[in-house]
Chain A
Amino acid sequence: MRYVLAVVAGVIALAGASAQAEIRLGVLYPIAGTGAVYGVPAMFGHDLAVDEINAAGGVNGQPLATFKRDTKLKPAAAAAAAKELITKDGVNVLIGGLSSAVGLAISEVARQEKVVYIATIPKTIQMTTTKLHDHVFRTASHTDFEGDAMARIVAQLGIEKLCDIQLDYAYGHDLGAGIVRGLARHAPDVDLVIELRPKLGATDYNAFISQILGAGCDGITSGLWGSHFVNFAQQAKPFGLFEQAKYISGGEIASHEIAGKMAEDYPDNVWSNTYELWYDHFDPSHVEFQKAVAEKAGTNETAMWPVLAYIGVKFYAAAATKAGSIESDAVAEALKGLSIDTPVGPRTINPEDHQADTGQFWGPMVKKEGVPYRMMDPITYIPAKIAE
């Protein structure tokens, strides 16, 4: 047994020792099962960034190598995978995460192992407030920015009676709280009539729809994302819900993957957000970026997830270059206050709370002549600022 262990350890040591001339990125996305619809496109963006950086000679002369693991959308699995990436593959940084719970679990491993973690998708506010530590940084937006933007739109549209419907888990709770804080700033006179909390993964919304109809709201705020929104909209449309009330939604249901998937079924009067739109070249560099993603994805009408993963890698590379090192503390120090240009505009990480000023594109989803799906028009970029 001792002999076997020694051999095992020897093999692992050899594997670890070979080619540490590369910089190892530990990447964590859900790449099979229900989360794969987000994780797979995210990997396109990740690979694109790595290819670009390596083609330009790597970081400090060292090429980037990707070690990816499936998080299965489960925090315990993600934590175990993150730990293994660090202890076995010897990765220099953790990048990725999808879902708030998974993000918090990876962040905890990063804290323990003192390895930098760049959260590219998780939005829970806890990550950069109560659970903040030296080695966690976020390039995604967060629920307070999102809630604030939604409250501004509520004010703009002149809504009087508001219904709020959020999924009953971290993201939903945090976004609900973010909206309430935003309303106090932007629309203090709005009457928040009911707050509904369907379960994560719910498919039947009939009970909630009749409650909203009964409450007589002229506006709805929501964070039902992905298939939750698809189901909700299909069930609510026959009741005329979207004629009665304006639907203001976080959760990126303005992204093309939702608009394209729902096509004709996408309801009227929806204002929502997205990190990126393939048809909007907000920044000139977006043209090239979008073309490259389209090539990888095999379609011109690309999803918004690649840009998030792409930005995460770019931030790491910029920080390691600035630090002249891949040592975790040096990279963490370099990330504080770091600014980079991205395909969706410049981004800066706040040195205090380690949060990037990631704004989002907001607007109504409208029908266009000769286009089978809805598009956002007009597109407004709402910067990441809690505006007074």
Chain B
Amino acid sequence: MESVRVMPRPVAAVCAVVVLALLVVPLLDSRYLIDLFTEIMIYALFALSLNVLIGYSGNVSFGHAAYFAIGGYTCAILLTTYEWGFAPAFAAAVIASALAAGLVAWFCVRLTDIYFAMLTLAFAMVVWGVAFKWRSVTGGDDGFVGVSVPAMLDSRIGFYYFTLAATGLSAAVLWLICHSAFGRCLVAVRENRIRAGFVGINTRLMRWWAFVVAGTFAGVAGAIFGMFHRGMYIESAFWTESATVLIMTLLGGIYSFFGPAIGAATLFVLERLTNEYTEYWPIVLGMILVGILLFLPDGLAGLARKLASYRSRGG
């Protein structure tokens, strides 16, 4: 508990290596790997954002895809239909996600546990319904296809570095938020809401902020996703997408800051590899979920920690 803002040295070292490795990916000259890592980074940020809510404040959301979709659609529509510049469109998308999250959170934080989770799901389905029905704006279930992306992001490598910068910066900000006094308060709320209340923490407000932070960064991930695919589709707002990111977070480990990013990368790569050999990815996904729940309650990050302590004890 000694270091509040400074990363522990081993963590910082791993981060530096990962960033360096990501920096050289385009040098490998493989379009496939560039696309793969671009998408992994997007999902990693999406999962990290959800973990502010789940891991830090202890509120399980079943509707996190809504803010991803709002960010994605807003950015795509502003860029394409209204021909906004990149910077204002991107900023507006993030703000739209934040505002939507703020509004939904205002209702949701009045509830806890399963009621909270169900309400997040309900609001997410409203977002899905709007994307589905508002055909003239969102394209309905045809999807919003043909997003105009600014020239500087037109090249694959350019977009890759943009994604690396945006997700890296977002992850750094999330790290700071989670390890600030605010982050500590969230953990206190997670551990014992009543006691946290008695020591003077406004638990409802804290949970509101956690929701807003989570929604905002999901919006960042969504905006990048829409530009990367040059399209947004309603399935990005559907509850299955919320479930996917939830599983990513659980797989990585909710009690570790970087766990969800590891979970996102693992699940994403597994899905890609599985799809090459079989159409039955959902079966594999189901088995992974059962495996996590039964054997890895703290996810991959928890497993790594356990292995490390086992080795230090053994050696």
Contacts and interface: CB of A to CB of B under 8 A. Distances in A.
A9 B24 CA distance: 12
A202 interface: no
Contact of B21 (A1, A31, A76, A79): A1
A25 to B, nearest CB: 16
Chain B contact residues, majority secondary structure: helix
B233 A105 contact: yes
Nearest to A78: B233
B114 interface: no
Given A1-B18, A2-B21, A75-B231, A124 B33 contact: no
Interface in B28-54: 28-33, 35, 39
Contact of B280 (A32, A84, A112): A32
B275 interface: yes
A9 B28 contact: yes
Contacts of A80: 39, 229
Contact of A74 (B24, B235, B279): B235
Contacts of B272: 84
A101 interface: yes
Given A32-B279, A81-B275, A84-B272, A101 B233 contact: yes
A140 B99 CA distance: 44
B155 to A, nearest CB: 11
Contacts of B18: 1
A108 interface: yes
A184 B283 CA distance: 51
A12 B30 contact: yes
Given A70-B275, A100-B142, A101-B143, A75 B233 contact: yes
Interface of A: 1-2, 5-6, 8-9, 12-13, 31-33, 69-70, 72, 74-77, 79-81, 83-84, 86-88, 100-101, 104-105, 107-108, 111-112, 124, 126, 131, 169-170, 173, 200
Closest 6 pairs (CB-CB, A-B): A32-B279, A87-B31, A9-B28, A87-B32, A1-B21, A88-B32
Interface of B: 17-18, 20-21, 24-25, 28-33, 35, 39, 135, 140-143, 145-146, 229-231, 233, 235-236, 272, 275-276, 279-280
Given A5-B28, A76-B143, 16 more contacts: A1-B17, A1-B21, A5-B21, A6-B28, A31-B279, A33-B279, A69-B276, A72-B279, A75-B235, A76-B231, A83-B35, A100-B142, A101-B143, A108-B145, A108-B146, A124-B142
